[in-house]
A = this chain, B = another copy of it.
Amino acid sequence: MMGWIRDLFPIHRSLSGPGTVETLNYIHNLLPQLTLHKVPSGKKAFDWTVPNEWTFREAWIETADGEPIVDVADHNLHILGYSEPIDAEMDLEELDRHLYSLPERPDAIPFVTSYYKRRWGFCLPHTKRRALRPGRYRVRIDADLKPGHLTYGELILPGETTDEVLLSTYVCHPSMANNEVTGPAMAMALGRWLAGRDRRMTYRILFLVETIGSIIYLSQHLETMQARTKAGFVLTCLGDDRTWSFMPSRLGGTLADRVSTHVLDHAVGDYDRYTFLERGSDERQYCSPGVNLPVASIMRSKYATYPEYHTSDDDLDLVSADALAQSFEVYRRVIEAIEANRTYRNVFPGEPKLDARGLYPDLSTAESGLTVRAMMNVIAYADGHHDLLSIAEIIGEDVLVCAEIAEKLVAGGVLEPVKHGDRNTVSGDLHNQD
């Protein structure tokens, strides 16, 4: 993943325009099943309208006598995202009204955009801004802001059932690492792994621009997603190694929430639990009242909580191959848990005769009972009402261990999976949307 991250980091992404398209093409090369979709400017999506496409070429400030002050060629964050073009000379006083900097982090370039109100501007370190001397400055932004398209990537990996898992990430921030390129890198890694394995669930993996991208996508697929999505995850902030974070769905208790906290409890142990009031990425759209999908997010350092967030300091030094590998492992377990989360019921009333089925030690002593406890406990709650995740929580075992046990018990003729829609069957994820 580090290679992909290094490739994607320098590309000048925004809501639209060549940088985002280049990013999606890069991903397409590595995930051939990905399809790219273009939506024209002006198209309505719920309460929103697709904005004009922004094609950025170059932008700089120099003094009247040609001394360079700021050049976006040096760092993509120097330009206010979606700036309109300008080519003019002005006094410092006027120029300063178009400058953005962070007094509390004076050496970093902040990330600022103005997608929906026409403006122009430059972002720069606060120290540099304060050093500007009064006088005349030449300002040039060579960019188009005109009708075009907004592009997104969609990868559907069909499974045995149409029950879906949503993995959504975003490709709209230029040159930031933890809070940008780790998301698509993780989605690519999970997509490639999922493409090569048997799948019970269908996977919908989306590479969108944040907010307007997910709103457009939802406006095109709302009913299908509401009918099919069993769990979804926003992939973001997955590359630093300082902590683990969990963002629940709006009301909590969905399969996405349950499997996330289970895997974090068993595979990670200690993590920061946020509330939905601290949301900030596309769960804002997926969990909104009229959409209401079961979408959560497992992250490392959560957006808007770490000091480098939304500045030029969120760079490649902040992320590591180890941290990414750990994050992949956690999401792999999340997906394995969802794949394994069947509901089982006992074939026989009473405990089964495990020894006759080669599943039990045949000599009873005071101690021998303990060795088959986990197996007996899975059996004790396999009542056709508790899904495997509920059972794992009740009996205090990792759900993937329970899954191995359950499959052994099915093979031994002791348990049988309950078919979706069977009479008297209540799945454990009662809070789910379907």
Contact = CB atoms under 8 A, between A and B. Distances in A.
Interface of A: 45-49, 100, 110-117, 119, 211, 214-215, 218-219, 222, 250, 276-277, 279-280, 284-285, 287-292, 304, 309-311, 345-353, 355-356, 362-366, 369, 373, 376-377, 379-384, 394-396, 414
Nearest to A346: B289
Cβ-closest 10 pairs across A and B: A290-B349, A289-B383, A117-B362, A47-B348, A310-B366, A215-B350, A47-B352, A46-B348, A47-B353, A46-B350
B288 A395 contact: no
Given A47-B350, A350-B290, A377 B277 contact: yes
Given A381-B289, A384-B289, A114 B362 contact: yes
A297 B362 CA distance: 27
Given A47-B348, A349-B218, A395-B277, A250 B381 contact: yes
Contact of A373 (B277, B394, B396): B277
Contact of A365 (B100, B276, B349, B381): B100
A117 B350 contact: no
A183 to B, nearest CB: 18
A218 B47 CA distance: 51
Contacts of A46: 348-350
A65 B377 CA distance: 51
A113 B351 CA distance: 19
Contacts of A383: 289-290, 292
Contacts of A111: 366
Q: Which one of A304, A348, A395 has the greatest number of beta carbons of chain B within 10 Å?
A: A348
Contact of A287 (B112, B113, B291, B380): B380
A116 B362 CA distance: 7
A269 to B, nearest CB: 21
A379 B279 CA distance: 13
Given A289-B345, A289-B346, A304-B366, A351 B284 contact: yes
Nearest to A360: B116
A363 to B, nearest CB: 6
A353 B304 contact: no
Contacts of A280: 369
Contacts of A347: 47
Contacts of A384: 289
Nearest to A394: B277
A116 B355 contact: yes
A289 B382 contact: yes
Given A114-B363, A115-B364, A290-B348, 5 more contacts: A45-B350, A112-B365, A114-B362, A214-B350, A222-B349
Contacts of A45: 350
A6 B115 CA distance: 66
A384 B290 CA distance: 9
A288 B115 contact: no
A347 B355 CA distance: 59
Q: Which one of A45, A250, A364 has the greatest number of beta carbons of chain B within 10 Å?
A: A364
A272 B119 CA distance: 55
Nearest to A280: B369
A222 to B, nearest CB: 6
Given A365-B112, A366-B111, A380-B250, A349 B277 contact: no
A351 B119 CA distance: 23
Contact of A113 (B112, B276, B349, B364): B364
Given A345-B289, A349-B290, A304 B364 contact: no
